[in-house]
Amino acid sequence: TIGATSRYLTRDGVPWLPVMGEFHFSRYPEAEWENEILKMKAGGVQIVSTYVIWIHHEEVEGEFDWSGRKNVRRFVELCAKHGMLAYPRIGPWVHAEVRNGGLPDWVLRAAKDGVRSNDSTYLSYVARYYGQIGEQLKGLLWKDGGPIVGIQLENEYTAQGAGKGPAHIVRLKELARQAGFDVPLYTVTGWDGATFPEGEVIPVFGGYMDMPWDQSIERLPPSEVYYFRFPNRTYG
């Protein structure tokens, strides 16, 4: 049984502090997935988090591709094969340093100013996309004895206004559940003033061990995300 308190996750009723690592299956040759999963396991990672990047799977409206390096089901099955849990990040907007934050070009044209909101046109496309992911991952959820313990909705979401903010995250969760994602954990990114509905999702935080975006050629200081923090104090 997986649950959560205000301070930590639980497994079978006791504190559970798993290590989650990131690997984006559609950005890597599928023939090398298994070896990379084994490297993660050897490094102490217990949960493999992965973006399901919309533009990689439906570049052309209505034409879905779940083959080859886009085969999310095979990737999750490989995680299960090696005793690794899985955590799909289904967006629909993922950022991920990918074009349009992962939204296909045709979605931007069709929904115009309605993306990342409760705009009916946008949500109709999201519902179809979530349904496709749900079909691909059917039978691999935690409740089925599979490795998928949760999903992440959206990413770095700070929008406010009509049809946006926490109300949008609630709607995305509803659509995900309609697509079959009945999982123990639903999460969103918690940093940078993210907006989310309390009690519906868990805000999570991650960090980079380096800063690939930094243009300095000098040695960088240690990342603050690896410090222990207390009110008004920081311990390295």
Per-residue pLDDT tens digits for 68-107: 999 999 999 999 999 999 999 999 999 999 999 999 999 9
At 111 the pLDDT is 94
86 beta partners = 48, 148
pLDDT at 32 over 70: yes
- The confidence band for 144, taking pLDDT boundaries of 50, 70 and 90, is very high
* Cα–Cα separations (whole angstroms), residue 13 to 45, 83, 116: 22, 21, 36
Tokens of 100: 């349009």
pLDDT at 235 over 50: no
Global pTM reads 0.91
Start-to-end CA distance of the chain, whole Å, equals 34
Among 30-39, 53-62, 100-109, 196-205, the range scoring the smallest mean pLDDT is 196-205
- The confidence band for 63, taking pLDDT boundaries of 50, 70 and 90, is very high
| Pair 110, 62: CB distance under 8 Å | no
Summary mean pLDDT of the chain: 93
**pLDDT tens digits for 166-181?**
999 999 999 999 999 9
DSSP class of 78:
H
At 206 the pLDDT is 77
Amino acid residing at 14: V
At 193 the pLDDT is 85
pLDDT at 47 over 60: yes
pLDDT at 226 over 80: no
Q: Is 167 helix (H, G, I), strand (E, B) or coil?
A: helix
Q: Is 20 helix (H, G, I), strand (E, B) or coil?
A: strand
Distance, in Å, from the CA atom of 105 to the CA atom of 119, rounded to the nearest integer, reads: 17
Instruction: State the average pLDDT over residues 214-228.
Output: 83
